[in-house]
């Protein structure tokens, strides 16, 4: 899904995403145009997209908050959709496919509805906070890829759908979109580490709260 989204971005005549690092800095611009990525006016390698150079700079609190907001939307949208819609439109993404190990590819809990809800929610959220809906789609799709990766690993470990695996449940779902966002945002190593740690702890705590509010079916 992430690859398809990037392919679509390549076809667009011009997409600009502006991000203000500090009030004293000029707006640094990421321009995706005809398969080329330019940052701050310099041209990068042609397609496939080249991520911005790794930076060991300090954490950017505003960007971290924005990214955590998108991660929260991607994580929570499928849960809210299930709460509202019940079993409607809950077709499993893997179509019930069972691999030779006797376990499903992802499991019945991973639905097309959940992925669509996550991508739409992050697209709307990113547009709301000024990052652009394209960035939101990219983050949401990558978060769902991370979530599916976790589910795939858990099925291979003989863990049932919706079972708990601390770390495996949170790290891919947060790390994958953060790495994807490096294509369009100046995310530093410190930003990624901070977001993953905060998301891991926050998701565990928030899940317990949502369970008590009868939004989640399990406290994790």
Q: CA-to-CA distance for 200 and 34, rounded, in angstroms?
A: 37
Residues 211, 105, 179, 6, CA torsion sign = negative
**Cβ atoms of 188 and 56 closer than 8 Å:** yes
Position of tokens 């939307």?
A: 73
Task: Determine what percent of the chain is predicted with pLDDT higher than 70.
Answer: 69
Mean pLDDT of 15-21: 41
Burial class (CB in 10 A: 0-12, 13-18, 19+), 33: middle
Give yes or no for residue 220 having a pLDDT over 60: no
Give yes or no for residue 150 having a pLDDT over 90: yes
Q: CA-to-CA distance for 198 and 167, rounded, in angstroms?
A: 12
Give yes or no for residue 28 having a pLDDT over 90: no
Give yes or no for residue 218 having a pLDDT over 70: no
Q: State residue 205's pLDDT score.
A: 81
Task: Determine what percent of the chain is predicted with pLDDT higher than 90.
Answer: 48
Helices marked H in the chain: 2-11, 61-85, 112-128, 133-156, 171-181, 189-212
Domain ranges, ordered by start, for the chain = 55-212
Mean pLDDT of 145-157: 94
Q: What angle do CA 173, 174, 180 make, to 5 degrees?
A: 100
Bridge partners (DSSP) of residue 104 are 98
Q: State residue 161's pLDDT score.
A: 79
The average confidence (pLDDT) of the chain is: 78
Residue whose C-alpha is closest to residue 77's, from 134, 129, 130, 143? 143
Give yes or no for residue 80 having a pLDDT over 70: yes
Tally of residues, the chain: 220
**Cβ atoms of 71 and 177 closer than 8 Å:** yes
Lowest-pLDDT range of 14-28, 29-43, 116-130: 29-43
């Amino acid at each position: 899904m992430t690859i398809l989204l990037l392919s679509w971005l390549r076809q667009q005549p011009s997409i600009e995403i502006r991000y203000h690092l500090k009030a004293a800095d000029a707006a640094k611009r990421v321009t995706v145009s005809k398969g080329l990525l330019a940052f701050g006016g310099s041209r990068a390698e042609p397609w496939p997209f080249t991520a911005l150079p790794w930076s060991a700079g300090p954490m950017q609190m505003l960007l971290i908050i924005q990214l955590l907001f998108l991660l929260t939307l991607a994580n929570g949208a499928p849960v809210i959709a299930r709460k509202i819609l019940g079993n409607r439109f809950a077709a499993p993404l893997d179509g019930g496919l069972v691999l030779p190990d006797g376990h499903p590819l992802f499991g019945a809990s991973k639905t097309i509805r959940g992925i669509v809800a996550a991508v739409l929610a992050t697209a709307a959220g990113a547009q709301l906070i000024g990052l652009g809906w394209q960035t939101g789609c990219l983050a949401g799709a990558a978060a769902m890829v991370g979530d599916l990766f976790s589910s795939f690993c858990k099925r291979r470990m003989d863990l049932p759908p919706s079972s708990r695996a601390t770390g495996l449940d949170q790290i891919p779902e947060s790390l994958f979109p953060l790495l994807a966002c490096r294509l369009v945002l100046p995310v530093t190593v410190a930003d990624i580490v901070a977001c993953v740690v905060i998301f891991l702890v926050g998701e565990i705590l928030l899940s317990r709260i949502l369970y008590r509010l009868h939004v989640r079916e399990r406290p994790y």
